[in-house]
Amino acid sequence: MTEETPKTEDPKKDAYTKAREDKLAAKLQGDRKRTLKRLVYGIGALCVLAGIAFGLWQLFASFGPEREADASVTYPIIGRDHIPENSLRPSYNSNPPTSGPHYAEPAFLGLYDKELPDERVVHNLEHGEIWVSYHPRVKDQITTELKALLRARVIITPRAANDTDIAVAAWGRLDKFDLTGEPLDTVRILDFIKRYQNRGPEHLSSDTMVGPKSDRPIERP
């Protein structure tokens, strides 16, 4: 019976073949590292987004349950042109206005102790922000409640031209009511904010823009 001669590896293996194998192995290793890096970055991004979403959910959940009935009224949009400051006052279709010609510079978000031109704050409404205005006669009754609303990132100003104690305005939407001897209905205001914040035609934050130096809030969100 013939005995088979065992095969032995050639110690002089083709250098080209070995180099090609090494190159392929290095490429596979690099691909694995890049895939792992992308996976880590992707998971990190998802965690950040999840954290933001959870934070926003907590914020709005703390406002309380949404009311069954929406007490606000829709007003037709009457334009969104920019006009020079101190020009002839536009004719608006609601009090306070919810759309129409306005100044090029919006107001900063925050609590003000003086009135702002309607033409300035209408620009904020165009950005999807909310304007809470109150008649000066009720200021002493609602100071604490007004400050609590700042966490919702709104503009709060006195406005003597209001025909009710409280007015809450968004782009094309308005809710107005009197206090009638009762505390400020913050649930109603926060419900309006939940419904209509960030609904304007321009999705911009006014706080990222250069606001007027003469109009500064006394408290910021």
Tens-place pLDDT, residues 173-198: 999 999 998 999 999 999 999 999 99
Give the residue-averaged pLDDT of 114-125.
97
Question: Minimum mean pLDDT among 43-47, 48-52, 88-92, 164-168: which range?
Answer: 48-52
Token duo for residue 106: 């919006």
| Residue 50 domain-assigned (yes or no) | yes
What would the mean pLDDT of 13-20 be, rounded to a whole number? 64
Task: Say whether both 22 and 115 belong to one domain.
Answer: no
Within a domain: residue 219?
no
177 and 203 in a single domain? The answer is: yes
The pLDDT confidence band at residue 14, using thresholds 50, 70 and 90, is low
Asked if the structure places residue 132 within a domain, the reply is yes
Output Rg (C-alpha) for the chain, integer angstroms: 31
Half-sphere exposure for 67 (CA within 13 Å, toward CB): 15
- Are 57 and 109 contained in the same domain? no
Q: Are residues 20 and 106 in the same domain?
A: no
Task: Please tell me the predicted confidence (pLDDT) of residue 17.
Answer: 67
Q: Are residues 56 and 137 in the same domain?
A: no
Question: What CATH number has the domain bearing residue 166?
Answer: 3.40.30
Amino acid at 120: R
Number of folded domains in the chain? 2
> Is 107 among the domain residues?
yes
**Rounded CA separation 72/57 (Å):** 23
β-bridge pairing 173-177 and 73-74: antiparallel
**Has residue 214 been placed in a domain?**
no
Do 54 and 139 lie in one domain? The reply is: no
**In whole numbers, what is the pLDDT of the chain averaged over residues?**
85
**Beta strand 155-158 pairing with 131-134:** parallel
More reliable by pLDDT, 204 or 67: 204
Domain holding 35, by residue range, is 16-62
In a shared domain, residues 77 and 186:
yes
Check: pTM over 0.85? Answer yes or no. no
Label residues 60-91 b or e (16+ Cβ within 10 Å = b): eeebeeeeeeeebeebeebebeeeeeeeeebe
200 is a domain residue: yes
> Which of 144, 217, 145, 133 lies closest to 177, judged by CA?
133
Looking at the predicted structure, is the pLDDT value of residue 87 above 60? yes
Q: How far apart are CA 67 and CA 185, in angstroms?
A: 12
Kindly indicate the confidence band of residue 37, based on its pLDDT and cuts at 50, 70 and 90: confident
Q: What CA–CA distances, in Å, run from 152 to 116, 132, 148, 163, 205?
A: 20, 11, 8, 24, 13
Same domain? 50 vs 78: no
Q: Is residue 163 part of a domain?
A: yes
pLDDT exceeds cutoff 90 at 31:
no
Answer whether 124's CB lies under 8 Å from 154's CB.
Answer: no
Tokens standing for residue 91: 């004719």
Nearest-5° Cα angle at 70, 167 to 96:
20
Q: How far apart are CA 214 and CA 207, in angstroms?
A: 15
Q: Are residues 56 and 126 in the same domain?
A: no
Q: Verify that 145 and 172 share a domain, yes or no.
A: yes
Domain membership of residue 176 (yes or no) is yes
pLDDT band at 35, cuts 50/70/90?
confident
The whole-number pLDDT of residue 95 equals: 98
- Going by C-alpha positions, the residue among 112, 100, 128 that lies closest to residue 196 is 128
